[in-house]
Amino acid sequence: MNAIISAAELATALSGERPPTLLDVRWQLSVAKAAGEPAFDGRAEYAAGHVPGAVFVDLDAELAAAPGPDGRHPLPDIAEFGAAMRRAGVSSKVPVIVYDGGQGWAAARAWWLLRWTGHPDVRVLDGGLPAWQGDLSVDVPASVEGDFEPVPQAAGFLDADGAAALARSGVLFDARAGERYRGEVEPIDRVGGHIPGAVSAPTVQNVAADGRFLPAGELSARFRALGADDGTEVGVYCGSGVSGAHEVLALAVAGIPAALYVGSWSQWSSDPSRPVAVGPDPQ
């Protein structure tokens, strides 16, 4: 099953007899703002206009636990995540389509969580809301409780020790910007650099200028050139497990299964006992 869906395909699906559950996960990374500039409010953006039938999902509150020792966007409590998904109408036998404001990171986080906890049919709108050509709605759909019960899978998830081991035994991609990987700048976390052995693979290079993913063949060639050969175990991390989910999605488009280190650099770098590599060399 393809992990992404085009806007035209989504329009067809929504007009069919068995429309998918549609989730709006608009979100932006919280960074320092200029004085007086309001923070991004995904719920307000949703209220101002969304794809008809979509239900808003709050990434910070429903797709992650509170920031702490496990990172800035650690795994949510699984029972609470399941309750949030059921409130949004998610059922195990109904396809789910997720979109965000176009960057794709937040939608990918929802996609990864649902897939990792056992939902069999989840796709991301390629290009996000800007790719949608239909009308927008301000109507909030009637609440229909879903039946999805999340069950975490054995594969697909990495903790800090697992990420460190995979950097030696397989290939661990760092999805952040190259300058953060090299340790030249670090605007958020305690220290710059990367997990020793990790390979720089910025997720922004997986998409075209319009935010849509590159063709599967191009993505496959990119990742294979970076070491994701047949049979190689692959993992991904980023700053806090959001943009890294986007790279896991890109790998899925390329036909390459990959696990996500959810704690990512925000967890790894918070522990002074963990090693840090700097510069362009993985080691």
In terms of Cα–Cα distance, which of 160, 105, 98, 165 is closest to 125?
98
Task: Based on the residue annotation, tell me whether 161 is a catalytic residue of this protein.
Answer: no
Q: Where are the beta strands (DSSP E) in the chain?
A: 4-5, 21-24, 55-56, 96-99, 122-125, 157-158, 171-174, 199-200, 234-237, 259-261
DSSP letters spanning 226-268: TT--TT--EEEE-SSSSHHHHHHHHHHHTT---EEESSHHHHH
d(C-alpha 206, C-alpha 212), whole Å: 9
**How many CA atoms within 13 Å lie on the side-chain side of 158?**
31
Catalytic entry in 207, 238, 252, 254: 238
Q: By three-state DSSP, how is residue 49 classified?
A: coil
Q: Which residues are catalytic?
A: 238
